[in-house]
């Protein structure tokens, strides 16, 4: 049963008890996978796919025939749902596009900044129990908007060597270029190093379990990554007017993800806390994934009772949750006071699942308290910024001595001379 705790009696360690570091045996296993894939390429991918996914694959890449068959197999109404979600995601992320800027100043000075897309991106898509079409939409669409040239998806196959038709339809709608039937740390290795079939990319994005997260951490530097994601989290801040059934349902929407998922209620109402505690027990019994949700609720869940909404917001900012629901009469009054949260759901009719699938904001979010300093996946994650500047001779000459002095005060004489030499007529820069 989920515990009820008093905020004023909790230490910072009681609140922030999340740790996403891999155990030593995970580190060692991932090191071995990375080395094997780097050395043996496709042969290693096939061996690991047979070992971990139980299928012996000849072709790692999803074919055009498989794409067409998946599309034809789906209910047209669900395809419409995917297209509506994609349109919402696209419309939201198009607002994130930055424009180049140029600054000109008198005397022959030009400077500015330009944005260029990353050329190749790999998207990791988990498979539990089937590849998530929502993950595909949320990762591929911002990359397409940014102008990424090649977008590659990696996801584990099922026991029949197939990818779910829902995932393949989402990939087609989002605009992915290639899909490969490989998952886990071996997929990260393939994207980081390249194999005979899987192209090397410049950046790896997308969620995964501890092996994927550890592999991404280890290949960072060879390639860029989006973030090191921990288990999923939800924090519901609810007042006493909230429906305990709704609150319990929202907590369970994250608890069913993973036994390590974190579901937290913060409330200024002891009565609501007790009602939600009881309601969780009722709803847990109805869930197909109740065993997973039960372990998550019992080991990682908590209800924190505060004596005011002010204290409740303080708890939110300490925890820095991935998903935050503000189930109060006037959520906009609290919005500006929330400093640390990945995605914020305002009001009693905006459940976290709305953001997971349909509304438009990205669902790839900072976890494990990293919302204190990081942000949701966005178009920004798929572009690079380059600054540029131009000075003509007349602009450089008046400031050359000042720059040289600056350089010499840092002990860098060659820096100083590189500026001064441009003021000399065939002589040495002194």
pLDDT of amino acid 348:
97
Residue 240 and residue 327: Cα distance in Å, rounded? Answer: 10
Enclosing H/E stretch for 46: helix 42-53
Per mean pLDDT, which range of 111-125, 308-322, 381-395, 415-429 is the poorest? Answer: 415-429
Q: In which order are the strands placed within the sheet that holds 233-238?
A: 4-6, 302-305, 262-267, 233-238, 323-327, 343-346
Percent share of the chain, pLDDT over 90: 90
Residue 296 and residue 291: Cα distance in Å, rounded? Answer: 9
Mean pLDDT on 200-221: 95
Residue 175 and residue 367: Cα distance in Å, rounded? Answer: 27
My answer on whether omega of the bond before 120 falls inside 30° of 0, hence cis, is no
Count of residues for the chain? 430
Span 147-178, pLDDT tens digits: 999 999 999 999 999 999 999 999 999 999 99
Mean pLDDT on 183-188: 97
The residues that are catalytic are 322-323
Q: 429 pLDDT band (50/70/90 cuts)?
A: low
pLDDT for residue 18 is more than 90: no
Are 277 and 4 in contact by the 8 Å Cβ rule? The answer is: yes
CA separation, residue 319 to residues 136, 276, 322, 325 (Å):
28, 20, 9, 13
Span 316-368, pLDDT tens digits: 999 999 999 999 999 999 999 999 999 999 999 999 999 999 999 999 999 99
Per mean pLDDT, which range of 190-194, 256-260, 301-305 is the poorest? Answer: 256-260
Mean pLDDT on 37-58: 96
Q: Which residue has the higher pLDDT, 6 or 229?
A: 6
Q: 427 pLDDT band (50/70/90 cuts)?
A: very low
Are 152 and 122 in contact by the 8 Å Cβ rule? The answer is: yes
């Amino acid at each position: 049963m989920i515990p009820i705790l008093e905020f004023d009696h909790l230490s910072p360690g009681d609140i922030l008890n999340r740790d996403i570091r891999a155990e030593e045996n995970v580190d060692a296993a991932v090191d071995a996978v990375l080395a094997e894939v780097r050395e043996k390429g496709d042969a290693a991918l096939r061996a690991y796919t047979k070992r971990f996914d139980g299928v012996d694959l000849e072709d790692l890449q999803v074919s055009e025939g498989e794409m067409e068959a998946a599309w034809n197999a789906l209910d047209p109404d669900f395809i419409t749902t995917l297209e509506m979600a994609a349109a919402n995601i696209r419309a939201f992320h198009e607002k994130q596009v930055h424009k180049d800027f140029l600054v000109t100043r008198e005397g022959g000075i030009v400077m500015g900044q330009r944005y260029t897309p990353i050329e190749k991106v790999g998207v990791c898509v988990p498979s539990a129990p089937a590849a998530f079409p929502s993950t595909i939409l949320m990762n591929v669409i911002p990359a397409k908007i940014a102008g990424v040239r090649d977008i590659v998806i990696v996801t584990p196959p099922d026991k029949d060597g197939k990818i779910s038709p829902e995932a393949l339809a989402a990939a087609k709608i989002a605009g992915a270029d290639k899909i490969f039937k490989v998952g886990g740390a071996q997929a990260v290795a393939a994207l980081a190093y390249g194999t005979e079939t899987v192209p090397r990319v410049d950046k790896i994005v997308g969620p995964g379990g501890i092996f994927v997260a550890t592999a991404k951490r280890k290949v960072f530097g060879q390639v860029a990554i989006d973030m090191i994601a921990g288990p999923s989290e939800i924090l519901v801040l609810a007042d006493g007017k909230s429906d305990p059934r709704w609150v319990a349902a929202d907590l369970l929407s994250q608890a069913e993800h993973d036994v390590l998922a974190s579901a937290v209620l913060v409330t200024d109402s002891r009565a609501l806390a007790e009602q939600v505690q009881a309601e969780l027990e009722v709803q847990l019994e109805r869930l197909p994934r109740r065993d997973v949700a039960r372990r998550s609720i019992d080991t990682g869940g908590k209800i924190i009772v505060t004596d005011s909404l002010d204290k409740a917001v303080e708890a939110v900012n300490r925890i820095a949750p991935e998903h935050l629901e503000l189930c109060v009469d006037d959520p906009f009054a609290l919005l500006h006071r929330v400093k640390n949260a990945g995605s914020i759901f305002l009001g009693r009719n905006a459940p976290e699942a709305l953001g997971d699938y349909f509304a438009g904001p990205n669902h790839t979010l900072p976890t494990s308290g990293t919302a204190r300093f990081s942000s949701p996946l966005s178009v920004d994650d798929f572009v690079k910024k380059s600054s540029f500047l131009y000075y003509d001779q007349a602009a450089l000459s008046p400031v050359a001595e000042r720059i040289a002095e600056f350089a010499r005060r840092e002990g860098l004489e060659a820096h100083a001379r590189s500026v001064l030499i441009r003021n000399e007529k065939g002589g040495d820069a002194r």
